[in-house]
Chains A and B, each alone.
Chain A
Amino acid sequence: MTGVAIAFWVLAAVAVLCSLLVITSRNPVASVLYLVVTFFCLAGLFVTLHSHFLAAIQVIVYAGAIMVLFLFVVMLLNLGTPQWFDVATTPLKAVALVLGIGFVGALAAAGVGDFEPSATGPAAGVHPDVLGSTEAIATALYSAYYLPFLVTALLLLVAMVGAVVLARRER
């Protein structure tokens, strides 16, 4: 196994384990922290794909900003260990279980057979340092994807203004 393959399997295993712990742990703060670890593993996976910029953004935006807000809210509400998760088995749960297993099965059937982690590098002929670099992403964003980039920015601005309007107290 190459170094990249080892890194892939370790990161992927930790990511899957931690995302399972996110939904199974009883303590909401622990869930938040497991999710942070998951995001870290994803960032690590981006690094093995030579997408350094994406990895940095993953940590800055998800681990550094959004999850801090989550933690902030969880702490403010101070949920502790909730009791209301232990509800009796409902038909809905059975349906969710079947659908979930089906979804994982479909993913496994589609991907696992011809999956080779050491082949997940950049395409042939592209220098690996160029592909996911800050310069490459900036060039793509400001040339080929200029309009979508602007529209997304506008959308975020609208969402921000909306949040401010909703949060403003009536005078």
Chain B
Amino acid sequence: MTDWTGIGISLLKAFLVFFGVVNVVPILVWAERRGSAFIQHRLGPNRVNIAGITLFGLVQPLADVVKFIWKEDYVPSHANRAFYVLAPVMLLIPAAMTFAVIPFADDLVIAGRTIKMQVADLNVGILYVFALTSLAVYGIVLAGWSSNNKYSLLGAIRSSAQMISYELALGLSVVGILMIYASVQLDDIVRGQGELLFGILPKWGVVTQPVAFFLFLAAIFAESNRLPFDLPEAENELVVGYHTEYSAMKFAIFFMAEYMAMVTGAMLIVTLFFGGWQIPWVESAELKATVGEIPAFLLQLGAFSAKVLFFLWLFIWVRWTLPRFRYDQLMRLGWKAILPLALANLFVTGIVLYFT
């Protein structure tokens, strides 16, 4: 018998998560512009209004969207048209698929049915995330190559080298977490972080694997091409790198993919190192017994969102604080600092786990 209610719930979850993440993007763009203005002692966008309502500049993203849609969608005559059009799509699809395995609340029990608050509880868990993040590079490389422009190509080549280098660090820094919580499924990892360490500290990833957290943070900044690792689009050297030739909605898609990668990055940091939806010192079962099923769900969703928003702000904060690395410094950091440290961390974790 086909479980139509189950299928309906799954589709609804997929839609709601996608809808939520897509709508975080314009708000993030607003936060980035207002945040950078705040850091640089400016005002930022605050004039666009609908009948005098500016909502602290939140109407600006609406105006931006209208502008992106109505601008001339120009394809340079020297570009390789098919790949030029394909590239932004190839960047957006993996960016939009990664959220599927991130759990955002504890299982919800309604009318005898247990609903996992995760679009897909895959057996491979974190490997699915790595598989998709490793595909993001195609969009960038194709964009740079098909534009047939030396700055774009240089940006694309830098980005492929950077993403391959930092993918290793990204993968290796997480292995310690997988060893401690003994699972690759993100749901199990979040559950493992609900316990208390020595009875006082929450057993979050950042407590059990502090070194891995910093390595992972650096690697995730590099993977999402954000400053201080935004070499693929370094504007004072490469105009804007791989998307130099793009305009209108195609440019907007690159923009969206970058911000979606940021959201993925923040969600991953929270899930692996900051307890996901766990509220510190409050057990999920106890919470549900005290305040009821639905309020507990909302509280956990709120905790998850708050943590994610903090890390999104961290992304913006770092971007407007730190200068960009030089290319050789970037490579040296990746291969000679982060990679050996990640391996050493793994070794020490293994020894500690063996003797405990």
Please give the residue numbers on chain A whose beta carbons come within 8 Å of chain B beta carbons, in ascending order: 29-30, 33, 36, 52-53, 55-57, 59-60, 63-65, 68-69, 71-72, 75-76, 129, 133-134
Contact = CB atoms under 8 A, between A and B. Distances in A.
Contact of A59 (B83, B123, B134, B145): B134
- Which secondary structure dominates chain A's binding surface? helix
Contact of B160 (A53, A57, A71): A71
Given A52-B123, A53-B124, A134-B124, A71 B131 contact: no
B161 A72 contact: yes
A30 B123 CA distance: 33
6 contacts: A56-B127, A57-B127, A60-B127, A63-B134, A71-B145, A134-B124
Interface in B139-183: 141-142, 145, 153, 156-157, 160-161, 163-164, 167
Contact of A65 (B83, B142, B164): B164
Given A56-B131, A59-B134, A71-B160, 13 more contacts: A29-B83, A56-B124, A56-B128, A64-B135, A65-B134, A68-B137, A68-B163, A71-B138, A71-B141, A72-B161, A75-B153, A129-B123, A134-B124
Contacts of B142: 29, 33
B122 A69 contact: no
B184 interface: yes
B164 A53 contact: no
B134 A60 contact: yes
Contact of B127 (A30, A53, A68, A76): A53
A133 B134 contact: no
A106 B289 CA distance: 66
B213 to A, nearest CB: 22
